[in-house]
Structure 1
């Protein structure tokens, strides 16, 4: 069940603990000027996102895993449907990685947050009742 909470948080850019507040200041991941800008804490449950300096260095490992998964998907797709030569495969893969970088950065940070902070339904309900 935890995987669904992680996917929700990741797809909708929401706080991993309450699923109410936004993690990133801008919704568009392709706004390259503000690609890394995050809120310091959740506006609903006051969760501080960066526990310590360098907290998101661990997200680089998650990003590596996402890129490896993307390579596997690209390789299988290429072999089954495209049948490109080696140069075409490399160019296509590199182009797709460049397009996926902003999403990968956000997803890896959100997944990393979900490793340390799990969803608390009672906290989400509490913040909803305070908002009414």
Structure 2
């Protein structure tokens, strides 16, 4: 189970990396594409500012490459090695997987990126 206080909890839930008390996103559902990139300015619990500097989340593009590769490898293993589909059909499954999970990959990448720079402080934190 995911426990508050772990990086994995914040990454998978999209919660504040410092206090884990609320979501960083205006809309938790990444498939509402109109609000995919909309984030709260600050955490209402600990006042952590999410955009540490202008264009902060451009670095998440590098993370998204790795996350996308992980999804593609998983799709390859399932389609080609387990289901024994042809190479062409496996390619189609990989492309379909990447397109379908694109919003999830974007959010996971942003969550990973911000968790690299902000450490968990727990419930005993004071506002910045």
- Range class of TM-score, shorter chain: 0.7 to 0.9
**C-alpha displacement of 1:85:** 1.6
Q: What is the CA deviation profile of residues 12-44 of structure 1, one whole-angstrom value per residue up to 9, with x for unaligned ones?
A: 221000101210000111101111100011111
Structure 1: which 5+ runs fail to align? 128-132
What are the Cα deviations for residues 48-91 of structure 1, in whole angstroms up to 9, with x where unaligned? 11111111011011110001111222222223212222221111
In the alignment, the residues of structure 2 paired with residue 76 and residue 27 of structure 1 have an alpha-carbon distance, to the nearest angstrom, of: 29
- The question of 1:41 aligning with 2:42 is answered yes
Greater helix content: 1
In structure 2, the partner of 1:10 is 11
Partner of 1:87: 88
Alignment of structure 1 residues 42-121 onto 2, 5 Å? 42-121=43-122
- TM-align CA RMSD: 1.5
TM-score by length of 1: 0.85
For residue 49 of structure 1, give the secondary structure of its aligned residue in structure 2.
coil
Shift of 1:125: 3.7
Tell me the distance in 2 between the aligned counterparts of 1:36 and 1:62: 16
Q: What is the deviation of 1:126?
A: 4.8
Q: TM-score, normalised by structure 2?
A: 0.88
Q: What is the distance in 1 between the residues matched to 2:74 and 2:62? A: 19
